[in-house]
Structure 1
Amino acid sequence: MLDARVHQGKFGEDYVRVLASAAGLLISQDDVDHDGVDFCIKQPGPSRFGWSPRIDVQVKTTSRPRRRAAALDFDGLNQVQFNQLAGTDFVVPRYMFLVIVPANAAEYAALQTTGLLLRDVGYYVSLRDRPRIDEPRNDRRIRVAVPTSNVLTVTALRKLIDPALGRKGPSAR
């Protein structure tokens, strides 16, 4: 069995993989997480933005979300990780995905007569509008507000890559 933290993180990444698969998108992964990117998610083939538009994502998980107004306060990024997502000078847009998981791993998934249920829900946030931290440190955390309106769905994932994609394909929430 996996250690609880590794299990939780793996489930969060697999949750994103399932959504990308359902959206008809491809996921690739660097052989080493050197620059804060867990996955590249792309639309294969031509689009109005050129060939195979993509996004880069960092996947985080929590089983104890802290809700404040219309956002979740996430304190799980250190300053170095934050700087790998913040700012405007990335060629490929970057997002942080936050997957809320049950505290009990036995509740991550349930088979029902209508299909497989994955718990609980994912959200996304761009840190493009946030300035980087001067002299970032691994031992200092930074709070990120993740809007609860940014629910990670098949349609949302398509729109992050190409706004026109959200209107294509079967509807999925």
Structure 2
Amino acid sequence: MFDPGIRSLAAELLNRSLERGFTVATVESCTGGLVCGALTAIAGSSAMVLGGLITYSNEAKSALAGVPAALIAQHGAVSESVARAMAEGGRERLNATFAVSITGVAGPGGGSVEKPVGLVHFACAGPSGTRHRERRFGEQSRDEIRRLSVLEVLDLLRETVLTAPAPQAPSAGASPRP
């Protein structure tokens, strides 16, 4: 179902996350669940993947991931600030070590001069903050933009997991927080 590059990245993430005790959640708009699907296609992923939110509409971004409607109104759904808020909201709501988000214009329609087809924002929220990437994939097919988006966010997550400090054991009487 997923191409070898996606499966390889997902398997590497599963192994690295399990080694380090990390959990992951996804918040997806233009990919509609493909990232969570790629991760859960790997046997043993239930030890790492806590869940995924598909927030295709602006209302879902607010209701499910806690993105303020005013933020969407001010910057638009396809923006760095909304991608960051999606990842941070998903991390908090699913209580994950890391949460990734994707919001973009997969086309073929829906683009504008300021936000053309192929513009995608990615974010990864974790204990040390939130990272962001912006990519402009250009006028490619919808399927190709979505495939490239899955690869990009898995790469962002891999980079974040590999550079993150290992979680510390909770002290006596403290509740663990991923």
TM-score by length of 1: 0.30
- Higher-helix-fraction structure: 2
TM-score, normalised on structure 2? 0.29
